[in-house]
Structure 1
Amino acid sequence: MRFGVPLGLVHPDGWHDLAVAADELGFDSVWLPEHLVLATGAGMRGYPGGRAPIRPSTPLYDAPVRLAALAAATRAVRLGTAVYLLGLRHPLASARAFATLDGIAGGRTVLGAGAGWYRAEWDAVGAPFAERGRRLDEAIGVLRRLWSEEAVAHGGPHFPFPEVAFEPKPPRRAIPILIGGESPAALRRAARNDGWISMPAPPERVAAAAAELRRLRAEAGRDAAPFEVVAHAEGGCRPDETAAWTAAGANTLVVRPWERGRGALAAIERFARDHALASRGPTGATARRG
């Protein structure tokens, strides 16, 4: 089992130190959430599963930019978005942002993408909320072509453009694209791509989704293709609970083994010891821990 750290659940001032510590301690990945804007008058209605963990005053940051800063301070930990609202932006801009991040990271980027649940930010940019799934699918196709083909012209309904060159490519000429969400549409989209990212959930709920994903991938003839299941635990994970997550089908488990953000550094250090993660030692970056 690989383990990840959700940076969005601590104050942004702590992201650098937490990412550097995760890298040194042997964690697989760190993950940032993403929104473009939060409307002041619409509340946070529509969040899947109940009350949204954000409010209009929540600070928002450009995820590829913040991850690029963390890439420069780390050497092995993967840098992921959970999840990026790809359909809100023109894919030319998103392709450039993530290719730049991946170049700085040396191929450690994971693009977790989702259709989104929050109508107000779609209204803010004048994009139709009802078209968000189709816009996401089209944007994914454009990104894959820009990252791998010498010249690309696109005639899709949402993002048409004439032939363009796109350089530099990401180091692997591709960036893994994982899909977040638990709706039937999200699972179908994930099965067509490189992996799936759960909401915070217990192992049994992840197991049900993973079983459906296996069925969908086999139906699409993609069951032999590499595929990653990233599960978000509802908190931490004791060593004796790891087997349940593995049995559920998770490859990567994102854990929050702290009660309060100020205790996150000490908590992931204890977690690494308890789970016998392979320490990588100091990165050589400046890790000023408060």
Structure 2
Amino acid sequence: MITVGLDVHESILSTSPRQRRDLLGRVHAAGLDHVVVADHVSFHGGRGFDGLVSATAALTSNDDLPVLLGVYQLALRHPTTVARQLASVSQLAPGRLILGVGVGGEDRSEPLNCGVDPSTRGRRLDESLRVLRALASGEAVDHSGEFFELKDARVLPAPTPRIPIVIGGSSAAAVRRTVRFGDGWLGIFCSARRFAATREQIAEVAQQEGRPLPSWYGLNLWCGIDTQASRARQLVAERMERLYHLPYEKFERLAPAGTPEQVGEWLLPYLEAGCEHFTLVATSTSWEAGVEYTAEVKRYLLEHAPA
């Protein structure tokens, strides 16, 4: 099953409640399957957006759309407080949140200013996931690890249904993390060839460790979309350079720009690589245009998907 969603975190944070309801209503009416919000604490000089706050705003502004949080900087928070937030979000919108987590790393000052040693971030994330999974059961948890100590810790009510966790990243550590803690894997800045190879690696590790094979495979894609390819490129370049403080040319190979048909065509190799869930961080002249063009990309993928 192919699903296509739209990243809305900047629109969520810059619009009124009525505008948010209109935006998400249009996303749903256009036939898109989900929306996505992002997360950073203090990125490249202080920019950021709290993923769970944005997810809550999206979930409570529409009664139907699922929300993917992709990806949440879990290693920069304490897993018990995150478990409480997730339990509360689940009460507000049960079964509609997918939690994506990743190790991050583009800006070393971000973890440092959260009291986290960047060199231990991967181990901290693994331990956080272990604790978060345990707390999600609603049972009392005793835990003594490298980073966290819990004694008779419990978070109630337990999320029902359980909140799926998907792992971002394509390193060997991310592959192991997906098998041990994840329900799926989310590719970010990833070529179609790398996507297929990572899926194969996940299957190999799952077999080696005797664990179930994760069933959810998705792609988070920065792109510019417009009726004019040159304008689409300018739009996405300006937005990415403003956030990442790097020239667009550093991302261009994995962040396409063009018409909806061109972006859809660019995504076809990912279908062949086993991707079923697409999220577009689509930069357009307006959010209304972004919704329209993303829906066109979905139609293109459905029409051209391998039989």
**Amino acid in structure 2 at the alignment position of 1:212:** Q
Residues 65 and 101 in structure 1, CA contact (< 8 A), matched pair in contact too: no
Name which of structure 1's ranges 111-120 and 2-11 shifts more when overlaid on structure 2: 2-11
Secondary structure in 1 matching 2:85: helix
**Amino acid in structure 2 at the alignment position of 1:156:** G
Secondary structure in 2 matching 1:97: helix
Secondary structure in 1 matching 2:142: strand
**Pairing of 1:123-138 with structure 2 (within 5 A):** 123-138=112-127
Q: Which runs of 5+ in 2 are unaligned?
A: 226-259
Instruction: Find the counterpart in structure 2 of residue 44 from structure 1.
Output: none
**Offset of residue 84 of structure 1:** 0.7
Instruction: Find the counterpart in structure 1 of residue 240 from structure 2.
Output: none
Residues 22 and 268 in structure 1, CA contact (< 8 A), matched pair in contact too: no
1:246 to 271, 274, 290: 271
Q: Hey, what's the Cα distance between the residues in 2 that align with 1:218 and 1:148?
A: 25
Instruction: Find the counterpart in structure 2 of residue 181 from structure 1.
Output: 169
Instruction: Find the counterpart in structure 2 of residue 153 from structure 1.
Output: 142
Residues 155 and 161 in structure 1, CA contact (< 8 A), matched pair in contact too: yes
Instruction: Find the counterpart in structure 2 of residue 167 from structure 1.
Output: 156
1:268 to 290, 294, 298: 294
2:41 to 15, 36, 47: 36
**Offset of residue 93 of structure 1:** 0.6
**Amino acid in structure 2 at the alignment position of 1:158:** F
| TM-score of the superposed pair, with normalisation by structure 2 | 0.74
Q: Hey, what's the Cα distance between the residues in 2 that align with 1:56 and 1:8?
A: 19
**Pairing of 1:274-289 with structure 2 (within 5 A):** none
Name which of structure 1's ranges 240-249 and 199-208 shifts more when overlaid on structure 2: 240-249
Residues 6 and 282 in structure 2, CA contact (< 8 A), matched pair in contact too: no
**Offset of residue 200 of structure 1:** 3.2
Q: 1:160 to 1:34 in 2, by over 3 A?
A: same
Q: 1:69 to 1:219 in 2, by over 3 A?
A: same
Give 1 or 2: higher strand fraction. 2
Q: Hey, what's the Cα distance between the residues in 1 that align with 2:170 and 2:298?
A: 29
Instruction: Find the counterpart in structure 2 of residue 93 from structure 1.
Output: 81
Q: 1:265 to 1:246 in 2, by over 3 A?
A: closer
1:115 to 86, 103, 113: 103
Residues 67 and 97 in structure 2, CA contact (< 8 A), matched pair in contact too: yes
Q: Hey, what's the Cα distance between the residues in 1 that align with 2:41 and 2:198?
A: 28
Residues 179 and 213 in structure 2, CA contact (< 8 A), matched pair in contact too: no
Instruction: Find the counterpart in structure 1 of residue 52 from structure 2.
Output: 64
**Offset of residue 276 of structure 1:** 6.9
Q: Hey, what's the Cα distance between the residues in 2 that align with 1:87 and 1:240?
A: 36
Secondary structure in 2 matching 1:158: coil
Q: Hey, what's the Cα distance between the residues in 2 that align with 1:63 and 1:218?
A: 33
Residues 35 and 65 in structure 2, CA contact (< 8 A), matched pair in contact too: yes
Q: 1:156 to 1:121 in 2, by over 3 A?
A: same
Q: 1:257 to 1:83 in 2, by over 3 A?
A: closer
2:189 to 200, 216, 221: 200
Q: Hey, what's the Cα distance between the residues in 1 that align with 2:278 and 2:46?
A: 29
| TM-score of the superposed pair, with normalisation by structure 1 | 0.78
Q: Hey, what's the Cα distance between the residues in 2 that align with 1:136 and 1:24?
A: 37
Residues 25 and 272 in structure 1, CA contact (< 8 A), matched pair in contact too: no
**Pairing of 1:230-245 with structure 2 (within 5 A):** 230-235=218-223, 238=261, 244-245=269-270
CA offsets per residue over residues 140-179 of structure 1, 9 Å max, x none? 111111111421222122110211232111111x211111
Instruction: Find the counterpart in structure 1 of residue 26 from structure 2.
Output: 21
Residues 13 and 54 in structure 2, CA contact (< 8 A), matched pair in contact too: no
Q: Hey, what's the Cα distance between the residues in 1 that align with 2:51 and 2:129?
A: 17
Q: 1:72 to 1:171 in 2, by over 3 A?
A: same
Identity percentage of aligned residues:
29
Structure with greater contact order relative to length (CA < 8 Å, sep ≥ 6): 1
**Offset of residue 31 of structure 1:** 1.4
Residues 4 and 298 in structure 2, CA contact (< 8 A), matched pair in contact too: no
Q: 1:217 to 1:28 in 2, by over 3 A?
A: farther
**Amino acid in structure 2 at the alignment position of 1:99:** A
Q: Hey, what's the Cα distance between the residues in 2 that align with 1:8 and 1:208?
A: 30
**Offset of residue 57 of structure 1:** 5.3
Instruction: Find the counterpart in structure 2 of residue 284 from structure 1.
Output: none
